[in-house]
Amino acid sequence: MNATPYFSPTRAGATAGAHRIAPPPRKRRVALYSHDTMGIGHMRRNLRIAQALSSGPDPLVILLIAGAREIHAFGIPDGADYLSLPALHKAGNGDYQSRHLDISIAEMAELRGQSIAAALEAFAPDVFVVDKVPRGAVNELDRALAMLTRKGETRCVLGLRDVLDDPDVVRREWEAFDGDATLRSHYDAVWIYGDPAVYDATNEYDFSPEVAAKVVFTGYLDQRRAQRDSEKDTKLDTVVDSKDRLYLCTVGGGQDGARLADAFAHTVFPKGATGVLLAGPFMPAQTRERIERSAANNPRLKVLPFVNDSERWLERADRIVAMGGYNTVCEALSFDKSTLIVPRVEPRREQLIRAERLRDLGLIDLMHPAELTPQSLGQWLAGDMPPRIPSRQRIDLNGLERLPFLLHDLLHPSTARTARPRADKRCHCVPI
């Protein structure tokens, strides 16, 4: 996009034709959108991506458009800021509703859609990265995508996690919401934050040839980099004695983590071990109060409603029990931790599919929620752990390193590719 012409008022006494001082070059602008209707995983992923992009070769101004106000609790990268939308909530049946405002879903969709379009028109991004849903929650991006396409000055990218859901479900949804047509009309690239050695979404979901041609597998997002870049204070040392083993349980945003949290809260931890439950900001108050009562009677159990530096806790943990959300799994793989995944199995099977594939590669352990009890958790925590092959010898974890260069290619399509960690249509990984 052309920079706005620079005009400066003539000072009193200045001679006609005096040289004007040119302004500095306009920094490239990137906007990232996440709908955030269930949990905080989409928001956290976009924050990680923004952090990685800001360290790349192009000076950037970054606007994060977040679907929940909880983004304020996380560190925002230098040169970035955020717009928080009125929050939506996905009910157990998959339907959307307003999380806080007492208004209809139609009114919420209009309010959020207008806000997004107005922000993007004013911000005029060079690149717009959309997380997971091509048209946004309840199609709230339609107005914005039409405007950006009409102006023709913004490259649009769809960012997808490795697994979306069962292939039949994804194909039906893709067709119902015109996924292929939307990607053909409005998007220049599709970044899949995964490794086809684990799950090849292009084939599993039967993407059309036009869409498949836009796909690049970036590799998984190595959370060690996020931990190194973070300067957040942590409560870790005040909660867990440095001599104790840390058994960590995390249930993501907590909205649907009650069964795992309850089972962990009633697990017997051995001497010399502390169990810490990260409850998440969306855990229902009744569930959190019940678990906190259990913790009050168990000196080996600590409950934290929310932390904004979960990567530090996972790095410190001796063993991890978790639901199978994308970010948590990336963290566990990044730090090569002994991890038991108890995945969500409805309304989506995404977590179960991911956990099965990673279990088959020998990278995590899997317990179906139907088998979940305090006793089964205790047995896993107390059991011997065989040596594991490091994750990086099995799968590609270089996504955060590659993303700045993928962005650079979008911003400068005519320039030669610079040296970088390799990313192509079939992200090359160490052979199994």
Residue 2 has pLDDT above 80, yes or no: no
Residues constituting the chain: 432
pLDDT at 70: 83
Q: Which residue has better confidence, 45 or 309? A: 45
Strand 127-131, strand 155-161: pairing: parallel
pLDDT band for 14, please (50, 70, 90 cuts). very low
pLDDT-above-70 percentage for the chain:
89
Cα–Cα nearest to 220, from 103, 96, 331: 331
Distance CA 208, CA 242 (A): 53
pLDDT at 308 (0 to 100): 83
More confident residue, 73 or 33: 33
Comparing 95-99, 328-332, 335-339, the range with the smallest average pLDDT is 95-99
Mean pLDDT over residues 352-358, rounded?
98
- Beta strand pairing call for 189-193 and 127-131: unpaired
Give the C-alpha separation, 330 to 332, whole Å.
6
pLDDT value of position 7:
37
Is pLDDT at 282 greater than 80 in this prediction? Answer: yes
For 21-63, the pLDDT digits (tens) are: 777 788 999 999 999 887 778 889 999 999 999 988 889 999 9
pLDDT computed for residue 414 by the predictor: 75
Burial 351-378 (b: 16+ CB within 10 A, else e): bbbbbbbbeeeebbbbbebeebeeeebb
In the beta sheet, which residues pair with residue 321? 249, 340
pLDDT tens profile 85-124: 999 988 766 788 899 999 999 999 999 999 999 999 999 9
Host H or E run for residue 151: helix 142-151
Distance CA 48, CA 76 (A): 10
* pLDDT value for 386: 86
Distance CA 116, CA 110 (A): 10
* pLDDT value of position 119: 98
Helices (H) and strands (E) in the chain, counts: 16, 15
- Specify the DSSP class assigned to residue 199: -
Q: Which one has a higher pLDDT value, 425 or 169?
A: 169
Q: Residue 70 has what DSSP assignment? A: G
Minimum mean pLDDT range among 211-215, 288-292, 406-410: 288-292
More confident residue, 201 or 429: 201
pLDDT at position 72, please? 83
Tens digits of per-residue pLDDT, 163-190?
A: 999 999 999 999 999 999 999 999 999 9
β-strand 215-217 against 245-250: which pairing, if any?
unpaired
**What predicted TM-score, i.e. pTM, was given to this entire model?**
0.88
pLDDT at 271 over 80: yes
- Pick the range with the lowest mean pLDDT from 87-96, 123-132, 304-313: 87-96
In the chain, what are the domains? Answer: 28-220+397-411 (3.40.50.2000), 227-393 (3.40.50.2000)
pLDDT of residue 225: 65
Mean pLDDT of the chain: 88
- What pLDDT shows up at residue 307? 87
Helix or strand run (H / E) with residue 119: helix 105-123
Model pLDDT, residue 4: 42
Average pLDDT on 266-273 reads 92
Q: Return phi, psi of residue 96, to 5°.
A: -90, 150
Report pLDDT digits (tens) over 200-220: 999 999 999 999 999 999 999
Contact 377, 347 (CB under 8 A): no
Question: Would you say 40 and 253 are in contact if contact means Cβ atoms under 8 Å apart?
Answer: yes
Is residue 415's pLDDT more than 80?
no
